[in-house]
Structure 1
Amino acid sequence: MKRGADSQAVDIISEEREEGEMSAGRGSALRRGWRRLLLLGLSLLLLPYLLIILYLIDFIHPVSTLMLRDLVLLRGYDRQWVEFDDIAPVLVQSVMMSEDGRFCSHGGVDWVQMQSVVEEALDGGQTRGASTIPMQTVKNLYLWNGRSFVRKGMEVPLAIAADFVWSKRRMMEIYLNVAEWGDGIYGVEAAARHHFGVSAAKLSRRQAALLAVSLPNPIDRNAGKPGRGLKRLASVIERRASRSRDYITCLYD
C-alpha cells in the first residue's frame, strides 16, 4: 500500500514538473516573440534614416510611398527623373515662394512658423500647415498622407536629419521628383509634360506658378486646367518668384 502511494506521489510530481516546463517554454517563446517584434519595430524606425544616407548618392532615384502604393495596386504611375540643373529655375523659385519661403535659412523645420501655428491653435484659431519642403519630402518618401500627431512626430526628426545630410540642391531635386502633380503623375518632368506638353526645363513663369500652387492638393487643383481661384493664386506666386533672388542663394550662386 505504501509503495502505491509513493508511486502516485511521483506521478503527481512528474506531472507538475512537466506543466512547469511547458509553462516556462511558453513564457520563453512569448519573450522571444516580443523581442522579435521590438527588433522589427526598431528596424522600421531606423530604416528611413539609413535611406537618407543612401540617397546622398546622385544616381539613386528615390520613390515615394504613394508610388509604391500605386505599384502594389497594379495601377502604375508616370515619373521621369530629372536632374536639378535640368529644371527651369522659375519652377524652383515658384515652389519655394509657394511652399517654403525660408527654405534656405532653416534647418529642416521652420520653428518660427511652427510656434505661430501652435499659438493660433491654442487660442482656438483655425489650424494651418507649417510643413517645410524637407518635412514634405520625408513625408512623401517614408510616411503617409493625412494629419496626425504620430506622423508629425516622426516627420520632424526625419526632416532635420535629411536637411543635415543632404545639400539644399539635393533636397529640392528629390522633392521635385517625388511630389505628386495629379493622379499617377509624380515629379516635375511628368507634370510639365502632362499638363503643358513641355519638359521641366522649358516651363514658363506662368506654368511654373500654376504647378507650384497646385501642390497642396494636386488631385483637385489641375494646373493644366486652372479655375479662377487657382489663376489668382498663380499670379501672386508669379510676383513673389520674380523677386525671390535673395531667397534662393542656397540653390543658385
Structure 2
Amino acid sequence: MRRWARKIRRWLWRALFGATALVLVWIAAYAVLPVPTTPYILSERARLGSVERDWAPMDEISIHLARAAVAAEDANFCRHWGFDMTAIRDAIAQGAARGGSTISQQTVKNAFLWHGRSWLRKALEATLTPVVELIWPKRRVLEVYLNVAEFAPGVFGAEAAARHHFGISAADLNPRQAALLAAVLPNPQQRNASAPSNAVSARARAIADGAATIRADGRDVCFAN
C-alpha cells in the first residue's frame, strides 16, 4: 500500500512539473510570436459565427491608442510589476464601484485564461501575472493586450477595431479616435466608439487628458519609443 502511495505521489509531482514546464513554454512562446487566438475569442467565434481580428505589431499601432489604453485602464502600468497595490486597495475600499485589475492581469486573463469571476481563474491569473511580467518586456505586454482586447462585439485587437469603427488602420488613429476606442474598455458590448453616447464621449475626453498627462510626466516610458 505504501509503495502504491509513493508511486501516486511521484506521478502527481511529475504531472505538476510537466504542466508547469508546458505553461512556461507557452508564456515564452507568446513573448515573441503573435497570439493566434484566445479562449474568449474562440467562444465568441462559436457564438457569433465569425470574428474580426488582425494582428498588428506595436510599431503599427498608433502611440495615441497605446497611451489612451494605459490612461483608461492602468495609468501606472510602467511603474508596477503586474499588480497596482494602490488600485487594489482603492477597489477593496470602494467595493464593486471600480476594478483593480492592471493591464498585465487583463492580458494574462485574455491570452491564457477564460472570462468569469471564479476563484480558480483569479488564482491562476494571480500566479501567471508575475511570471509574464518577468519574461515579457512591458512593451510586449501592452502589444498583446491591444491585440486581444475586444473593442466591439466580435471585434478584437487594435487593427480590426480601427477598421471597424473608423475605416482606417491602427497606425493612423488620431488622439480623439484612440480615446474613443479606449473609452469602450472594458465594456464593448454596451459602448460604441464610432457612435458614442454622451457618457462615452465624456469618458473619451477624460482619457485624452489622461493620455496627455502620462506623456508629460513620463509614465509612457516603458512602451513609447
- TM-score scaled by structure 2? 0.86
Deviation string, structure 1 residues 52-86 (Cα, Å, up to 9, x no partner): 111122x4334221122245558221111111011
Question: 1:195 matched to which residue of 2?
Answer: 165
Match of 2:60 among 79, 86, 96: 86
Which of the pair has the greater relative contact order for Cα pairs under 8 Å at 6+ separation? Answer: 2
Tell me: CA distance 1:39–1:143, structure 2 relative to 1, closer, same or farther (3 Å): farther
Match of 2:184 among 200, 214, 222: 214
Gaps of 5+ in 1: 1-23
Give % identity: 39
Question: 2:29 matched to which residue of 1?
Answer: 54
What is the CA distance between 1:241 and its match in structure 2?
1.1
Match of 1:248 among 216, 220, 225: 220
- TM-score scaled by structure 1? 0.77
Tell me: CA distance 1:231–1:177, structure 2 relative to 1, closer, same or farther (3 Å): same
Please tell me the root mean square deviation across aligned C-alpha atoms, in Å.
Answer: 2.5
Match of 1:139 among 109, 128, 135: 109
Match of 1:104 among 78, 81, 96: 78
Deviation string, structure 1 residues 206-242 (Cα, Å, up to 9, x no partner): 1100100101101111111110100011011111112
Contact 1:99-1:133 within 8 A present in 2 as well: yes
Structure 2 SS opposite 1:145: coil
Contact 1:104-1:247 within 8 A present in 2 as well: yes
Task: Supply the AA of the counterpart residue of 1:111.
Answer: M
* Aligned counterparts of 2:51 and 2:14: Cα–Cα separation in 1: 33
Contact 1:48-1:142 within 8 A present in 2 as well: no
* Aligned counterparts of 2:104 and 2:87: Cα–Cα separation in 1: 14
Larger radius of gyration between Structure 1 and Structure 2: 1
Tell me: CA distance 1:148–1:197, structure 2 relative to 1, closer, same or farther (3 Å): same
Structure 1 SS opposite 2:80: coil
Structure 2 SS opposite 1:98: helix
What is the CA distance between 1:49 and its match in structure 2?
3.2
What is the CA distance between 1:51 and its match in structure 2?
1.0
Contact 2:48-2:154 within 8 A present in 1 as well: no
What is the CA distance between 1:38 and its match in structure 2?
8.6
